[in-house]
Amino acid sequence: MDHKVAQLLEMGATAAQARAALKQYKDVMAAAERIFDGSFDHVRDDDGDIAMSPARDVPEPRKSGMITPEADDDDVEDNDDEDEYDSDDVEDFADYDSDYESKADVGQGMSKADPYAGVFFSKDRREEVIEVEEEPETAFVSEEKEEVKLMTQGQWMKGCPEGGEQSFLFTLYNELSESECRCPNGCDYSVQRQKRDFFPLFSEFSTYTKHLSKIVQRTCLKCSKKFCYACGEPVGSSKYSDQHDCLFHCPNLQGVILGVGLAMLESKFTEDLEQSASDKTRKRRQVQISTPQPLEVDVEEDDDFYPPISQTKKMKLGIGYAGDAREDTSGQLEALAAQRAKDEKLSKLLSDIRVFLPSIHRAGGGKPSDFLVHPTALAHLRRRFNFVSSQLLRNDSLTDMSDRSVLYFELLNWLETISCHEALASMMAMPIMVVTSVKSINSRKSSTSHIRERTIVYEGSSGPRELLEAIVIQAQAALKGLEPIKIEEEETVEMSEEQKRITNDDKGKGKDVNKAVAEENEKLLGFCTRILATARAIDRSLRDLKGDAFVDRLHTSLPKIPGSASAGEDRQVVDAGDTEESAQKAYIEWANRVRFEYCDLTVSSSDTNDDVPNYKFYYNNEARMLASSDIPKRSLAIAKELAVLTTNLPVAWNSSVFLRVDETRVDIIKALITGPEGTPYYNGCYLFDVFLGPSYNHAPPSVKYMTTNGGKFRFNPNLYQDGKVCLSLLGTWSGPGWIAGKSTLLQVLISIQSMILCEEPYLNEPGWATAAGTPQSKILRMLGEWW
């Protein structure tokens, strides 16, 4: 009895309501359904008030805005019950209201639909779960005439720690796999449930739902009345308009359909990941290497400063030497086609499962199971769907996501649907639990049977809304890069007959290319717009369902948009703490915030009649010449580039890369690279001006080294006093060069950071590649400067 009361307390009922409901309904789910439909709203504790757990004082949040179809208006108005939290669970999760000052209005009750209402789990949350792997049974499903594997209890309960979630999963699994389903009309007729009824793992999810629709509605052989095979409750006499309508009858069906469906999704997604990893391992990069030549260093005729080096023995090649390498790119089109096919299948599976997500906004109105969400549905969403969504949302390439838009659009549909339901919306703020360690348990039972036990440790990581924000930042940067695409309509001028003839002759030339570029621009523009719309929709739904305090607290954990007002215009002093560890942590947090920002790089001009601004920038003249130009292909390349740079610039205690981009001209960039630890450049700051010219990214960017004290100092064979940067990627020296449409500015910056600002710059001089460890190299390394 106490165990059942505890289950109802975790679902949001009060102790008095739980005891009263269990007196009438022995089954926990039946009691929960009656509590949540308002049948026990009149039940009070001995003092007339609803009891709260003595372990914590939970403030009263907003009033619930969602009711079940059976609830009366009066019941909803009188529903001022608050969630009851078991005192034993205080250490398992943190109350989100516990550390903010503003409290909700007194008299407003907490929603009973969401067992996690008002709760933010800490990212420091750690769960140790003992998971059981069993040899799956097989059974012949007569309705589909197919031999299939059955979902084991270990698979069903995967990832859920001991406590409320696990007890709900255990109860539902046992109920639907081995208990009797009795006719609710009291005629003593019953049907024995079997595991093959609700837990067959078909190859297709549609086959599973088709199977359920055939068996879920039963007719009593004694009283001839219909009842639900999943919950044992009567079924109305009205006919269903769709064969799947019967699958929305009760929370039990909802829980098992989402559980099995999400297990299929997780299995399919994991299988695709493993196959992709296997393909990459099998297909090695085929590289043809000729005689080693400098990858990026240059030598001029007057560079005779260095004495000849004896090459009596073979030494390691210097940093910056790789020879003339050509990568085999065959099979790329086939790989892209294969990935597209996988994405389409995965998107179709997601779409089919999403039909059964609780949604009171579905076409035709909400179904019965939409209003009362089964706890196991939430458990499977948090464990299985969150795993898939986190893998997809951690993609750091907006271009790749745009190319796989068929899958990502469906993922955004899921996030919107979840955020629109009061019982699910809290998931957007909760950390996603990820596996950090797996340890096998050796026991006599496991050694003598097909059962294997493992202890798996899960730790909290960024939640869905936080992961989405990283993509939002990329999308905003891409949209900023696409802004120059806007074309002003030109004034129509009457053409002469000769001009018309020439125009007709040239008609169609380049049309296909321009059309393809425009379509790609529109595709990226549409994808970025959809991402931003989804983020706004999620926040709007959360404010409606959870309140402003919930969303404000959530937003404090989101990564800030670089250079935006939200990051604050005032520069704050960074508290480094008293230890090196605290200083490193403070630096990393600060550097991640400021590594990419927009700023004003313009300078005042004495010419008041000049409408084109000047810039504090080496390539000022080139930039001014492109002020009024519009090159769609270039704009698209810059948009993709900015999306990557916003969240992928390397930041570390020993070396970082920072960018400042002009807020109105995103092709004007300043880069600052701090010298890596262990090199002569450690703790030095090296500034570069970068211009994305008219042919970018068909041609490499223009890069000029600025830390020369007015052309007086040279610190590296690759960095000249006049600012020239010798890098084969930039086309300033022989070797593997820029690949049109593929190479990126990020590659250039990392090459400078790791290959030019290197441990032994002496080796970057042509012909000296084998001089590692020689006295000359060591001396120059100690001096830490060149010339």
Nearest CA-CA partner of 728 in 704, 752, 759? 752
Task: Kindly state the tokens that stand for 628.
Answer: 């009024």
DSSP string, 363-400: TT---HHHHS--HHHHHHIIIIIHHHHHHHHT---HHH
Give the C-alpha separation, 283 to 279, whole Å: 6
Tell me if 193 sits within 8 A of 233, measured CB to CB.
Answer: no
From 183, 231, 246, 726, the catalytic residue: 726
Q: Which residues of 231-256 are buried (b: 16+ CB within 10 A; e: fewer)?
A: bbeebeeeeeeeebebbbbbbbbbbb
Q: Which residues contact 336 (CB under 8 A, 6 or more apart)?
A: 403
User: Would you call 542 helix, strand, or coil by DSSP?
Assistant: helix
Give the C-alpha separation, 48 to 363, whole Å: 42
Q: Which residues contact 119 (CB under 8 A, 6 or more apart)?
A: 93, 94, 95, 96, 426, 430
Q: Which residues contact 399 (CB under 8 A, 6 or more apart)?
A: 524, 640, 643, 644
How crowded is the C-beta side of 198, counted as CA atoms within 13 Å? 28
Instruction: List the beta bridge partners of residue 786.
Output: 714
Instruction: List the beta bridge partners of residue 133.
Output: 452
**Residue 485 phi, psi dihedral angles, 5° rounding:** -65, -20
Residue type, 215: I
Give the C-alpha separation, 402 to 400, whole Å: 5
3-class SS letters over 249-280? CCHHHHHHHHHHHHHHHHHHHHHHHHHHHHHH
Rg of the chain on CA atoms, in Å: 32
The helix (H) or strand (E) run that includes residue 746 is helix 745-751
How far, in Å, are 26, 479, 504, 599, 738 from residue 636 at the CA level? 64, 9, 29, 21, 18
- Crossing angle of helices 164-178/28-36, nearest 10°? 120
The helix (H) or strand (E) run that includes residue 666 is none
726 is catalytic: yes
Beta strand ranges found along 269-335 (DSSP E):
287-288, 326-327
CA geometry: angle at 300 spanning 294 and 301, to 5°? 125
Q: Which burial class, exposed, middle or buried, applies to 136 when counting CB atoms under 10 A from its CB (0-12, 13-18, 19+)?
A: middle
Query: Which DSSP category does 434 fall into?
Result: E
Mind telling me the catalytic residues? Answer: 726
